[in-house]
Amino acid sequence: MNSSNQNIIQVYEYQTLRVGDNSQFNVSHFKALEKYGYKTREKYYSVGNQRIRFTNYVGVIQVKNLTIEILPKADVALDSDSSKEKWHNALISMLQECKLIKLNAISYARLKLKSASILDLYYDLFLTEVETLLKHGLRKDYRSQRENLPMVKGKILFTEHVRRNAFHKERFYVEHKIFDLNNRLNQILLKALQILKTISHSPSHNTRIIKLLNNLDGITEEIITPQWFENIHYDRNTKRYKEAINLAKLIILRFNPDLKGGNENVLAIMFDMNLLFENYVYRKLKAVQSDPDIPIVSVRDQTRTPFWESRGLRADIIIESEDSRLVIDTKWKVLKNNTPSDADLKQMFVYNLHYNTELSILLYPKTNIDSVDKKPFRNDKFKDRNCQVAFIDIFDESGKLEANLGLKLYYELLESELNSYVNAIN
């Protein structure tokens, strides 16, 4: 899809990108990524000899004028433009389902015509949110201002007044209140816009950025730290800022400026694909919990219980009906020979014991190789402590993410298991 855009490279997780393999990726890009990789302790990729090997993180990295999209891939289809478009769209849909991107269908359609990257979507969404805030008026707050004035305004700060004005009897050092736009929420927006002005290479985005910055004139530039975001508390007057601030947080905290002025700024918006798949499956199952035709009483995610001292066990998803309980542990990987590792099987057995479940399921995405639907691992010695490997095709027949994945998971995977335990009890 994006092959026509000379500033975008699409690769897959665990793929290696070497200098020289792609005419767009040169030594200057590698050096910038090398610095960023060492700074982030090679969290998103490992650094080799003029090569970058990506890990289980997917998303997008902008380095200088180059955008690199790292796509998920859980099949063995040939590397093609159609395959990349399929996984590009799948990643966007997953991010939207997991509330990691608030996608407007109209803006997405508009940007898609321009072969947009995921980064373009985030930029466009942020700019749209700020434009909406401006349309309805930015929030003003009272703040304290200290200054030397030729009149008394507010209260005189006597100690500082004496120090400053011993020979200027006509002046008064005072503290008074000002009601204006210069507050923390608007300062965060300003910082994010200034970053985008530095790194955006889209003429349409740049025009919008300049216009917005002109409307923020008078707001002071501050050093924004993670603590700024931790200390934000939204109320009925500020909740309209929430989406814009969340997007600004991504831009500000994931930005690594080139302080030496070499124009090698890096911005990375990356997501752990294992956690993304887990959360995606959970949300799809949670959506069918309220279906009156499905006897699922509860779907719980990331349930951590104490195990030993400060350590605990954390099952990905727990499914409960009136008579039974199942544990699902999602695994985003291509499983060879339909056989899990010993460590994964032992983990499932511990889940069975600890959560008192009849069945634990290792759930993998179904690939286009000979993946079975379900493969049980049972032992007569542990009749009520069983494990099962299962696979689910997350795509529909048209190659899009399955909209009704929760129902598909239930009818293909869970229904027979839940019913079998109910029948066994009866």
Q: What's the pLDDT tens digit per position in 195-234? A: 999 998 888 899 999 999 999 988 999 999 999 999 999 9
Please report the pLDDT score of residue 178 as a whole number: 73
Contact 333, 318 (CB under 8 A): no
Tokens, residue 90: 């799948």
Domain assignments of the chain as residue spans, ordered by start: 8-136+236-272, 141-180, 288-425
* Protein fold of 288-425: Trna Endonuclease; Chain: A, domain 1 (3.40.1350)
- Number of other CB atoms surrounding residue 256 within 10 Å: 16
Please report the pLDDT score of residue 1 as a whole number: 43
Please report the pLDDT score of residue 106 as a whole number: 56
Please report the pLDDT score of residue 370 as a whole number: 55
Over the chain (426 residues), the average pLDDT of each successive run of 10 is: 62 94 90 93 95 96 92 79 89 92 65 69 92 93 76 76 79 76 93 94 91 93 92 92 95 80 80 95 92 86 66 82 87 83 87 85 79 57 73 90 93 77 47
Please report the pLDDT score of residue 43 as a whole number: 94
Q: Distance between CA atoms of 350 and 154, rounded to whole angstroms?
A: 67
For residue 393, the cross-strand partners are none
Please report the pLDDT score of residue 288 as a whole number: 92
Please report the pLDDT score of residue 425 as a whole number: 44
Q: Distance between CA atoms of 62 and 321, rounded to whole angstroms?
A: 46
Contact 69, 85 (CB under 8 A): no
